[in-house]
Structure 1
Amino acid sequence: MNATPTPSRRAVLGGTAAALATLTLTTTPATAKSGTPEATWPTEYPLPDGWLPEGIAIGGKPYAYQGSRANGGVYRTDLRTGEGSVLYAGGTGQAAVGLKLDHDGLLYVAGNTGVARVIDSRTGGLLTTHRLADPTGHFINDVTLLGDRAWFTDSRAAALYAVPRGRSDAGIRTLPLTGDWVQLPDVNNANGIVGTPDGRGLIVVKSTPGELYNVDVETGYAKKITLVGAADVVNGDGLYRIGRTLYVVQNRLNLISVWSLDRTATTATLTRTITDPRFDVPTTAARYGDRLYLVNARFTSPQLPETTFTAVAVSI
């Protein structure tokens, strides 16, 4: 997620517009394939006013979990109806940005100021708070599940953090990023994160200047992924992968760029882009059926208690 000021939309498009000129900008209708259960489900639903959403997670059941930057709360929505309620109320000084839901019902939450939390998605109970780094100078931003660990990014430090999955708080590991990785000062670096198709590594998006990296989980060596079809993924935020297809949410550009990864996940070729008039600075995406659901963070709008927020679905 990236709530820090960035160049105007016209400026940030400069690096990618020329490369995209030969591609058709595809607006994907927010509909589901006829005959699927979700065909009649809503494709847009409200979140509480002033929620300040960033992350979204969906598991095997049709429920979406959306985090709040305002107080660290988690809001659960029934995708079948669009109706929801607060699952976890959060608290003063908390934030909930990236989220991932495990098969056992545990919800892993990137907590911004150096912490990660584990919440029971069935009861809303806070199970564990992990201290990953000092509160200042760190931004624990997003999370993915790989092997027996939940992996968290830090936008303000060149490191990933590996937390054991489950209820244990033992054995937290800090993995410094090396290789091609160069940490830039005073901007958000590492952001969205997913596993590689072979399950042996991690793909991390660097929001500024807009790069993808393949990270070795044993050594921390980060190899820059070669992009074909566009110069960058500037403002890259949440990542979602299906097989060798990688979806990159580029928040302030109001689009999702769709990439085909090669066998080693060291080259990514742009295949299309997804836009929708309902996008209002979407940050992250989660999948249910043939849809991606995204939360609109509305970073370019006033972030006030009365500001309205929504989540939207697009077909993939």
Structure 2
Amino acid sequence: MRALILGTLGMTAALAAGGLALGGGAEMPMAMAAPATTPLRATASLRTPDGAAAGTATFEQVGAGVRVTVTATGLTPGQHGMHVHDLGKCTPGVDAATNTIVPFGGAGGHFDPGMSGNHDSPTAGNKYGHGGDAPMLTVGADGTGRATFTTDKFSLTGMTGVLNRSLVIHAQPDDYKSDPSGMTGARERCGIITRGDIAVRDYSLPGPQDFPEGVAYDARKGVLYTGSAANGTIYAVNANSGAVSIFNQGGGQGRGSALGLKVDPQGRVWAAGGATGTVSVFSPDGFPVAILKTPPSPDAYVNDLTPAPDGNVYVTDSTRPVIFRVTPDLKLSAWLDLAGTPLKYGPGINLNGIVATPDGRALLAVQLNTGDLWRIDLRTKAVTRVMGGLTRGDGLLLDGQTLYVVRNAEQVITKVTLNAGYTSGTVVAEEPLTGLRFPTTLTAVGGDLVVAQGQLNKLQGGTPEVPFKLTRFKKF
């Protein structure tokens, strides 16, 4: 997979495509509350190692940062180190510093979005110190500790989002310099940071290295499809039961990754092949129908595709400035050379997610490295800029005049309202759900959306959270 340095935090990520399945249909109703967009609030119920309630922490988004209020009980008087840890697990686990099983070791190490690898003070920038480094908790003679602070080292959304991570209080003071945790000693209190105003349903995937990238839905079968960016395996997931089976094993026909996925009106599954430069088409039962090759190139990156009302399938390439087209007889050709258009390719990942407007007049595609959304006229091939500001825009889903944009490293789904001609748009909401992990693409299942949590920032280094999952939630 191709890598790109993302944003000011220096996150290395294999970047990917958008997903949208055709069709709607009946499905098992879900008792979910619609996502709230503002203000963002979360809580963590603090527990002792034996599970007893021992305090509460609240988190409220304030601009780019968060206001934190902590009350903890039953602690030794004095100062106690306090940090946000990477994983949302208050279970026993291995402490990497001692290689022993410790209480709350399941929370992992300190949250480190800047990949600094360094423990530092709560005022150090995230490229110098852990993003989870927080002020100490001062405990009084009665064993109760209280702290209130505002920090921009972490937040409830974006690259520094701490939803579904853990707040841990340690036994000793923090020296704010010693790796990995400032000599703070044992983990004495732990709470998972959660939202109470939204419900989700997760579909777990079986593989330890799945890295799901594309997602598509076949309403006639009630099946979700998701493809692995790491090995090309495509799974079929029953949208009601959550049962998972292999639809097509990766590695066949030279397909080492499956990025953007779509289901066409015939029930065939289409997959973009990334650096292989291919588009794969599978029958509804998973057999290869065609492996279509783009022109040979050391710089190919076929990223996403979309069936259009004209019967053709249009394909983005993130490194070559061209849009490919596959005709109904499964012939692939270069349809639009973007050279000479206002859409300029630059370093990194360019065009990514793509959708066709329902009136059959245009395509919409997002350029990840610039954050621009583009309209491509299907009759004149005119390319016009719709809007900007969609940084790290990956997968797209068009629902009437509403466009959902998955912004991978930003770890949010952005809702855009488009005008009647799809020539301008306005951001109306941003949704981090219960803590997204480098989301890539999304699809619709009736009144719900399903997003793939790809974790592609961990594909070339780091330990992903397992199981990998798709997450389902109400449209917002």
What is the TM-score of this pair, normalised by structure 1?
A: 0.83
Partner of 1:4: 4
- Contact 2:450–2:472, Cα closer than 8 Å, also in 1: yes
CA displacement, residues 79-126 of structure 1 (integer Å, 9 cap, x when unaligned): 1111101110021552110000012111111011211010113x2101
Q: Which of 346, 352, 357 is the equivalent residue of 1:196?
A: 357
State whether structure 2 residue 423 is matched by structure 1 residue 254: no
1:302: how far off? Answer: 5.2
- Contact 1:278–1:312, Cα closer than 8 Å, also in 2: no
CA displacement, residues 30-66 of structure 1 (integer Å, 9 cap, x when unaligned): 35xxxxxxxxxx4443342211211001021321101
Secondary structure in structure 2 of the residue aligned to 1:276: coil
State whether structure 2 residue 274 is matched by structure 1 residue 114: no
CA distance in 2, matches of 1:256, 1:9: 19
1:306: how far off? Answer: 8.3
2:443 maps to a residue whose letter is A
CA distance in 1, matches of 2:413, 2:2: 15
1:29: how far off? Answer: 2.1
Partner of 1:270: 427
The percent of aligned pairs where both chains have the same amino acid is: 28
Partner of 2:341: 179
CA distance in 1, matches of 2:461, 2:255: 16
Q: Which of 131, 150, 158 is the equivalent residue of 2:313?
A: 150
Alpha-carbon distance change, 10 to 109 in structure 1, aligned in 2, over 3 angstroms: closer
Structure with larger Rg: 2
Q: Which runs of 5+ in 1 are unaligned?
A: 12-22, 32-41
Alpha-carbon distance change, 25 to 108 in structure 1, aligned in 2, over 3 angstroms: farther
RMSD of aligned C-alpha atoms?
Answer: 2.5
2:316 maps to a residue whose letter is T
1:70: how far off? Answer: 2.1
Partner of 2:58: none
CA distance in 1, matches of 2:39, 2:313: 34
Aligned residues: 287
CA displacement, residues 106-153 of structure 1 (integer Å, 9 cap, x when unaligned): 1111011211010113x2101100012324211000011102111110
1:171: how far off? Answer: 5.7
Q: Which runs of 5+ in 2 are unaligned?
A: 12-36, 41-194
What is the TM-score of this pair, normalised by structure 2?
A: 0.56
CA distance in 1, matches of 2:269, 2:231: 17
1:174: how far off? Answer: 2.8
Identify the structure with the greater strand proportion: 1
CA distance in 1, matches of 2:2, 2:404: 17
Alpha-carbon distance change, 159 to 258 in structure 1, aligned in 2, over 3 angstroms: same
Q: Which of 166, 184, 198 is the equivalent residue of 1:29?
A: 198
CA displacement, residues 194-240 of structure 1 (integer Å, 9 cap, x when unaligned): 1124221100000011100001224432101135xxxx100000000
State whether structure 2 residue 238 is matched by structure 1 residue 69: no
State whether structure 2 residue 473 is matched by structure 1 residue 314: yes
1:201 maps to a residue whose letter is A
CA displacement, residues 5-41 of structure 1 (integer Å, 9 cap, x when unaligned): 2114599xxxxxxxxxxx836687235xxxxxxxxxx
